[in-house]
Chains A and B, each alone.
Chain A
Amino acid sequence: MRPRVDELGRFSDAGLLVLTSLADGAKHGYAMIGDIGQFSGTVLEPGTLYGALARLEKAGWVEPLAAQERRRPYRLTAAGELVLQRQLQSMRRVVSTGTTRLATA
């Protein structure tokens, strides 16, 4: 079955941000919030981050690693990487279409 990012419900944006953050390697929650703030300007709050993480973990798109002290890193799974690639392709098509239509309007 083809995975759908919109299954993440109201956490879809946060889920996409988390997947993107984990695309270059495993991170724990603190590092994810900092990284997401840097590349998107969005400061995820802890409650929102863990709501998204719970959904991503249940979907099998991220997986927890062994805890380091009290912080637990997460990494992208192969299925998560596939979902992220598809979502980014879809977003690129939207950007391309929107840009083209604005230019011709």
Chain B
Amino acid sequence: MKPSFHGGRRRGWQLWLLWLYPAAWRQRYREELTALLGAHPDGVRTVLSLIVGAADAHLHPRLVPRAAAGTWRRSPAGAIALLGAIGVLALAEVALQQVRDPVSGWQALVGGHPAARLLLSASQATAALAVLFGLASCVGVVAAVLVGCAATGMSVSLGVTIGCVLLLGRLNSELLPVGWSVAITTMMVAAVIVTWVAHGHICPSRAVGEPAAD
């Protein structure tokens, strides 16, 4: 049976599926596979093959030498963005604490000083801003992680995973004491990073072109 081809027609939604693949894999094969998808007939089988292929690529990350992808040493932007995202989360947490109890902190500081009223007003204004800041931080954390991942060539799925973990930690903080929330979030982030390093999705020190060991 001869397959039928529709030359030159690109399918954006199929190309989006390529983002399911690991960064190193995309770096190596994306351009030629994009060209192939532009000429290949549309269909459920194609979609399934890409999804299964992406899962297989994640399960066998050593198939494609990592080259420049995922090398934190070459491009620390991802690490910086991730740390920045965590910093934003921590600031949001402090700000939200201020929202919950905006008065007591300032009272403890200023006592019966005449300037207390002015400072309390400033505190309430800060609290209002903090609500907006806290809400924005949830989106900001995910965005910063994704930008960092894109900058380093890390897998977007790793960024999404870390972003989700951070957001879960943020939700935890509404239900648990701050200390517990920070501890749980830290452990979850560490577990995700360790897991992904173990699967070869992040390689902090491998040089460009160095073959991956099996």
Chain A residues with CB under 8 Å of chain B are 10, 28-30, 33-34, 37-38, 41, 43, 45-51, 53-55, 58, 67, 69-72
Which of B1, B31, B40, B57 has a CB less than 8 Å from the CB of A46?
B40
Interface centre among B25, B32, B34, B40 (most CB of A within 10 A): B32
Bound-complex Cα distance A3 to B214 (A): 16
A47 to B52, Cβ gap below 8 A? yes
A51 to B35, Cβ gap below 8 A? no
B5-52: which have CB < 8 Å to A?
A: 5, 25, 29, 31-37, 39-40, 45-46, 48-52
Bound-complex Cα distance A67 to B57 (A): 22
The verdict on B114 contacting chain A, using a C-beta distance below 8 Å, is no
Per CB-CB distance, the 6 closest pairs between chain A and chain B, nearest first, are: A47-B53, A47-B49, A45-B49, A70-B35, A47-B50, A37-B3
Interface centre among A29, A34, A53 (most CB of B within 10 A): A29
Output the least CB separation between B11 and chain A (Å).
Answer: 11
Output the least CB separation between B12 and chain A (Å).
Answer: 15
Bound-complex Cα distance A48 to B3 (A): 15
B64 to A48, Cβ gap below 8 A? no
Bound-complex Cα distance A54 to B60 (A): 10
A29 to B56, Cβ gap below 8 A? no
The verdict on B149 contacting chain A, using a C-beta distance below 8 Å, is no
The verdict on B113 contacting chain A, using a C-beta distance below 8 Å, is no
Which of B1, B5, B35, B48 has a CB less than 8 Å from the CB of A41?
B1
A29 to B33, Cβ gap below 8 A? yes
Q: Which residues of A contact B48 (CB under 8 A)?
A: 45, 47
Interface centre among B5, B46, B53, B62 (most CB of A within 10 A): B53
B64 to A54, Cβ gap below 8 A? yes
